[in-house]
Amino acid sequence: MSIDVRPFDGLGHFKIDWLNAKHHFSFGHYHDPGRMGLGPLRVWNDDTIKPHTGFDPHPHRDMEIVTYVRSGAITHRDNLGNEGRTVAGDIQVMSAGTGIVHGEYNLEDEDTQIFQIWIIPKSRGNAPRWETRTFPRGDAAGTLVPMASGQSGIEGAVEIDQDATLYAGTFQAGHRITHPLGTDRGAYLVPARGRIRLNGVEIGARDGVSVENVEALDIEITDDAELILVDVPMAEAA
């Protein structure tokens, strides 16, 4: 059994005038050979974006990029003609496929906080696409809701090209949940807020925890919490 806690204060850090970013895995100028991802999960960035700023147009290819909005809103524009605004508690998914050029902007009057999560797809050269979806907040109370998934049998989630699922939920202190995993899969879990105890290990707000070779996750909510969990296969990504 492997449970590796990555405290928020020890994450990779990049800061400029409009962006304050923490990196759970190696990204950009932050490189740690021990933190290159988990299975096909390659990037988990915790970004705070100042009002009326953002990421100018830039390209991607062959990557599933999920943006979970923690507070504020993010506005997406791309060269396919897609444009949309995603608000706190919802997600957008961009399958870069053969190539896409996009910009991401905080057009609000307050900071926007997002998790940017990159997952290596099963196949290369797919047609690029983008989708945003609203998940009623009440549906995410007291349970882990699948929001993006390519796993067989998962319904109601935005499709991604990988045998992986991103779950999110809000929980009151004292709640306890079990998430079946299996020793052939891994999980990366971050409380966006609040504190939890995972299989007896204390996890604080915005800490990351990487889990491998565990049959099930036993999650005890010690403070009111918002959780994001990505469940991935541990076989090498295609």
* Mean pLDDT calculated for residue range 136-148: 84
Q: Which CATH number describes the domain made up of 2-233? A: 2.60.120.10
The per-residue pLDDT for 135 is 86
Per-domain boundaries in the chain: 2-233
Per-residue model confidence as pLDDT tens digits over 145-170: 999 999 999 999 999 999 999 999 99
Per-residue model confidence as pLDDT tens digits over 209-229: 999 999 999 999 999 999 999
* CA-wise closest residue to 234 among 216, 206, 211, 217: 211
The per-residue pLDDT for 160 is 98
- Integer-rounded Cα Rg, in Å, for the chain is 17
| CB-based burial label for 17 (10 Å; 0-12, 13-18, 19+) | exposed
What is the chain's percent helix, strand, coil content, to nearest 5? 5, 55, 40
C-alpha 95/C-alpha 17 separation (Å) is 29
Per-residue model confidence as pLDDT tens digits over 57-73: 999 999 999 999 999 99
Question: Cβ distance 120 to 40 under 8 Å?
Answer: yes
C-alpha 224/C-alpha 159 separation (Å) is 29
* Mean pLDDT calculated for residue range 23-45: 97
